Amino acid sequence: MMNKLLSSLALLPLALSCPFDLCDVPDSGSCGNACCKLSVAVPLPTEAVMSAINATLASGGPDGLYEAQMTAEGTLGFADLRPFGAPADFIGQAFHATANGLYVDTVNFNLSPTEDGGGTVVRAFSTSQVGGAFGDDGQNYYNIVGLLTEVDFGGDKADVNDFVNVDESCPKPAKR
């Protein structure tokens, strides 16, 4: 009986970690820990997409819980890789705190031109920072989609159905 009570109490913070509408796509240890890797195409050049995401992060994002991080290049949010001839134009990082304040996740971004050069492929990867986070209650999916569906991409916003799974992490439900 005591073991069941302790197990229930240990899982309580996880059950309360992601109360938002987009938390219905959980991951179960796809990266060893819980994670999510998605991409979405946006019809703007990479520099405009980077600026739009950075502006959204600067205000804390749609839920006020995002924080742009310093890059190795010494810039906040995103670094410009174009001078180095890298396959991605920009690379960035943000932290996202869970609504219950118990956890912080890392969200990494890279922005590359689409094959036709008319837009940007945003590739985003979110991982739970806490070791042993096998399940995430949909938090890593939310960290990506919750942010990018609220960014103003020049009058357009990404639609939740436009996101593509890059690997087996955070598998989407059959119907949305």
Q: Are 51 and 152 in contact (CB under 8 A)?
A: no
Cα gap 137→164, rounded to integer Å:
19
Q: What share of the chain is helix, strand, coil (3-state, %, to 5)?
A: 25, 30, 45
For 153-171, how does the pLDDT look when each residue is reduced to its tens digit (9 = 90+)? Answer: 988 899 999 999 999 999 9
Look up residue 32 and give its two tokens. Answer: 């060893």
For 112-149, how does the pLDDT look when each residue is reduced to its tens digit (9 = 90+)? Answer: 999 998 999 999 999 999 998 999 999 999 999 999 99
For strands 66-68 and 120-128, give the pairing.
Answer: unpaired
What does the chain come to in residues? 176
Architecture of the domain whose range is 23-165: 2-Layer Sandwich (3.30)
Tell me the pLDDT band of 1, cut-offs 50, 70 and 90: low
